[in-house]
Structure 1
Amino acid sequence: MAEVFVCAGCGAGLTDSLTRVALPARTQQRYGHELLPALMDQGTYAVDPEPSGPPWRLWDTIGADEAAARGVFAPVPSLSFGPAGAILVAPGDTRGTVLIPERCDGYCLGLDGRAGPNLACADCGRAVATRVDDCTLWQVVRLDPTAVHALPSGGPDPIADWTELTRDRRAAPPIEAPGCWSPHWEAAVADALAHLLAASGGDRVGVPAGLLATTFGRALDELFPAGPAEKTLALAGPGLPTPAPGAPDIVLVPQHPQTGEAWQPPAGTAEAVPLAADVWTYLAFHDDRRLVPAPGLLPGGILRDDPLPRYPWRAFHPDRRVLLHTLSRLPAVREPWLRAIHARLGGRPS
């Protein structure tokens, strides 16, 4: 159902009409040293289930038991003890807010929200949200769930079924101009890689050649000792053949862009690992085969209009920050072998 968010103090409208979607994997990402676009697509919002904003507590002051009760099972630098359930919206979808000047702190080129809510309701002055738009951070406004209310603004939005999503095939390209790997891909692969590590049970995983090996295989080779593969990985999902029982052992499946639920293979076939739907779609249906040059010349008056494919200027690296964030919230990370991987990743320099 489409909703608008209003101030809990005076009822003034604070957003356009928005539709809920799944929380993007890149929410925890920091990328480059420039201004990034909006985290959320226009007209959408997502809910962050974890606490966010100040106060923060260092890991040494929390303890493993208290952190586990919060769903964090491996050491992290710090944890927020602010309100849980922030509503994430694109800055351009906000209305009726003003900046709180004394809370406009940032690191470099904008606001990073370190001081807490920095946006107030223009009508009553109540602090209602935190705007983040500093360099390396996806631009977003995080509405404080204790300071806003949601009101229906339209009828229920239809949830696309897997057949419809397969037909649309909305894919995110992996390479952006002028030859950079997409940060969305780096975050989505990192999030899926954490689940893939847990699903492996510590066994080395073999990955098919191609883009799947480029994005997942290299990282798995670095994280596991050298040796023969004991488990196999493949893609599975709507529009692809049903995997046979036991071959492959693990499948990457699409994560529904609206609900966040993963497509499930038939019971007893393979263990499913969720991957952002637009990244999965590209891996599943994009043809990366190169054309073979044909003999002869083009007829006169015919111009080439097909651009050459983009090639990356460096190797693909899953986003380490996203990988660590997801790993630390999987119960499997308490296994010694996976905790050792978590520790290795956490100890590496950027």
Structure 2
Amino acid sequence: MDVFVCAGCGAVLSAPVVRVALPVQVRQRFGHEMLPPLVEAGTYAVDPAPSGPPWRAWEDVGEVEAAARGVFAPQVALSYGARGRIVVAPGDSRGTVLIPERCDGYCLGLDGRAGPNLACERCGLAVAARVDDCSLWQAVWFEPDAVRRVPTARTAPPVTTGARPPIEPGGGWSPQWEAAAGAALAHLLVASRGEPVALPDGLAGAMFARASAALLPSGPAVRSVGLAGPGLPASSVDIALVPRHPRTGEPWQPGGGTVAVPLESSVWAYLALPGETSPLPVSGTLPEGVLRDDYPLPAHPWRVFRPDRHVFLDALARLPEVRLPWLRSLYDRVSADRFRSPVW
């Protein structure tokens, strides 16, 4: 495990944390409410792309310079912030104080629009940006040149991947599921080569059914889509929804010429390995192979499931394949739709 210390004076600025994959919802804006931390307590992630202010309009950057920064399709603005910013849960930050003149926000909290708004309590160096405004995932973003990573003697806990339910306790769709579907949809379109696909039955297919029907041509399916990954039997599908490793973010490789579409590991685990999910307490044990049949009625959100459009556009813009004419046309179509009813 690691701690982060001030690059100026060496003061400890974080609790011991272990590195995990950057969540796909990192650039998601969701609803008009306070969201939980972007990363779990005791963990940190690194954003390899430029992030945060300053920002430059696409018209001032151009396609060549944008491609050098890993963006291959037009966006409203491009970040010219640092690469490698480090995010921790707010409860894991230590020894910082707010910089009052940088405490800008949109509605209910701070959004980091002015850059670092936290300073080292000991020496005053601006070290991080606290983000906790409504619609934004709560986070403390350390600037990579303002902190140093120091390994500790503590052993990192084992990698575990819990299955995240698709429906929140309040009855709405999980924003993590919508973000995961948006990011996976970008890869699914690339893998489809612009041709109809046969989606799997059940929730895995329902996640992408409306979007694929809106974005891909109708007709007989050319490629099949299914789940693949550790613990599942071998599959002969053309395109496989596979888990991202929770620590590295690398997708599981299916082999055999199957194209991998990475899916957030907690979402994949729910789809592929749901197991027994009864929320009711039981006494004693059930016979082997017998499941309970007294579940409460399943939750029914008030609207259909839709992959997060903004996450989809951001993910697709960062894939070089978006420069293919047919895919760029889809990107432009969905992008132009942001002030109207969703395409799917």
TM surpasses 0.5 = yes
Question: Counterpart of 1:120?
Answer: 119
Question: Counterpart of 2:190?
Answer: 198
Would you say 1:260 and 2:249 are equivalent positions? yes
Q: Residue 84 of structure 2: SS of its match in structure 1?
A: strand
Deviations 1:22-44 (A, max 9, x none): 00001010000011111110000
User: Residue 157 of structure 1 aligns to which amino acid in structure 2?
Assistant: A
1:181 to 158, 173, 178: 173
TM-score, normalised via structure 1 length = 0.89
Deviations 1:158-196 (A, max 9, x none): 764xxxx6xxx6200001123211000000111111111
Question: Counterpart of 1:8?
Answer: 7
User: Residue 283 of structure 1 aligns to which amino acid in structure 2?
Assistant: L
Aligned counterparts of 2:92 and 2:140: Cα–Cα separation in 1? 9
Question: Counterpart of 2:76?
Answer: 77
What's the offset of the Cα at 1:287? 6.6
RMSD: 1.9
Which segment drifts farther, 26-35 or 172-181? Answer: 172-181
User: Residue 313 of structure 2 aligns to which amino acid in structure 1?
Assistant: L
1:235 to 227, 232, 244: 227
Check conservation: 2:2, 2:149, Cα contact below 8 A.
yes
What's the offset of the Cα at 1:11? 0.5
Aligned counterparts of 1:122 and 1:315: Cα–Cα separation in 2? 47
Deviations 1:100-146 (A, max 9, x none): 00000011001111111000000011000001111100000100001
TM-score, normalised via structure 2 length = 0.91
Would you say 1:274 and 2:273 are equivalent positions? no
What's the offset of the Cα at 1:154? 2.1
Check conservation: 2:195, 2:217, Cα contact below 8 A.
no
What's the offset of the Cα at 1:257? 0.5
Question: Counterpart of 1:58?
Answer: 57
Would you say 1:343 and 2:332 are equivalent positions? yes
Check conservation: 1:206, 1:217, Cα contact below 8 A.
no
Aligned counterparts of 1:286 and 1:60: Cα–Cα separation in 2? 47
Question: Counterpart of 1:170?
Answer: 162
Distance 1:136 1:158, change over 3 A: closer
Of all paired residues, the percent bearing the same amino acid is: 59
Check conservation: 1:3, 1:152, Cα contact below 8 A.
yes
- How many residues of Structure 1 are paired with residues of Structure 2 in the alignment? 325
Which segment drifts farther, 2-11 or 258-267? Answer: 258-267
Check conservation: 2:88, 2:140, Cα contact below 8 A.
yes
User: Residue 146 of structure 1 aligns to which amino acid in structure 2?
Assistant: D
Structure 1: runs of 5 or more not aligned: 291-303
What's the offset of the Cα at 1:5? 0.4
Check conservation: 1:19, 1:157, Cα contact below 8 A.
yes
Question: Counterpart of 1:215?
Answer: 207
1:320 to 309, 314, 318: 309
What's the offset of the Cα at 1:205? 1.2
What's the offset of the Cα at 1:155? 4.8
Structure 2: runs of 5 or more not aligned: 279-292, 340-344
User: Residue 177 of structure 2 aligns to which amino acid in structure 1?
Assistant: W
Deviations 1:188-231 (A, max 9, x none): 11111111111111111111221122211121111113222211
Which segment drifts farther, 94-103 or 307-316? Answer: 307-316
User: Residue 327 of structure 1 aligns to which amino acid in structure 2?
Assistant: L
User: Residue 261 of structure 2 aligns to which amino acid in structure 1?
Assistant: V
What's the offset of the Cα at 1:156? 5.4
Would you say 1:225 and 2:217 are equivalent positions? yes
Would you say 1:140 and 2:139 are equivalent positions? yes
Alignment of 1:20-39 (within 5 A): 20-39=19-38
Deviations 1:224-249 (A, max 9, x none): 132222111000111111123xxx11
Check conservation: 1:159, 1:258, Cα contact below 8 A.
no
Question: Counterpart of 2:283?
Answer: none
Distance 1:14 1:130, change over 3 A: same
